[in-house]
Amino acid sequence: MKHLYLVLFFFVCSLGYSQDARANAEIDGFKLYPNPVTQGKVYIETSLNAPKQILIFDVLGTQVLQTTILGKELNVSNLDKGVYILRVLEQNKVATRKLIVK
């Protein structure tokens, strides 16, 4: 009986730590420009051009912006000058880039 509990424990742990390979796949045709941003707008292009969830974090890991865009244009004029981490999610694929706002 102890062996069964041990097997179940490892099975549950492996499910918790496993990751979906598609969820970590890079977004096809991902382009981010201009970077550094000087005019308060950044453009994000992908092959699918589907709606994208955008998350922006400061260098301390604090989320400073969360939005969804339907087109290519993202307004970042409300962000202070500095370095940020931009995370884009589009149809179970992810792209993470450094974003510089001047």
Pairing label, strands 31-33, 73-75:
unpaired
**Number of domains the chain is built from:** 1
- pTM for the whole thing? 0.75
Whether 4 is in a domain gets the answer no
Provide the CATH number for the domain around residue 56.
Answer: 2.60.40.3080
Whether 16 is in a domain gets the answer no
Torsion of CA 24, 25, 27, 32, to 10 degrees: 60
Whether 9 is in a domain gets the answer no
Side by side, which strands form the sheet with 31-33? Answer: 31-33, 41-45, 73-75
**72 neighbors 49 (Cβ within 8 angstroms):** yes
- The tens digit of pLDDT for each residue in 17-58 reads 444 444 557 999 999 999 999 999 999 999 999 999 999 999
Cα angle 58, 60, 66; round to 5 = 35
Whether 17 is in a domain gets the answer no
For residue 66, what are the domain limits? Answer: 24-101
- The tens digit of pLDDT for each residue in 52-84 reads 999 999 999 999 999 999 999 999 999 999 999
Whether 7 is in a domain gets the answer no
- The tens digit of pLDDT for each residue in 83-97 reads 999 999 999 999 999
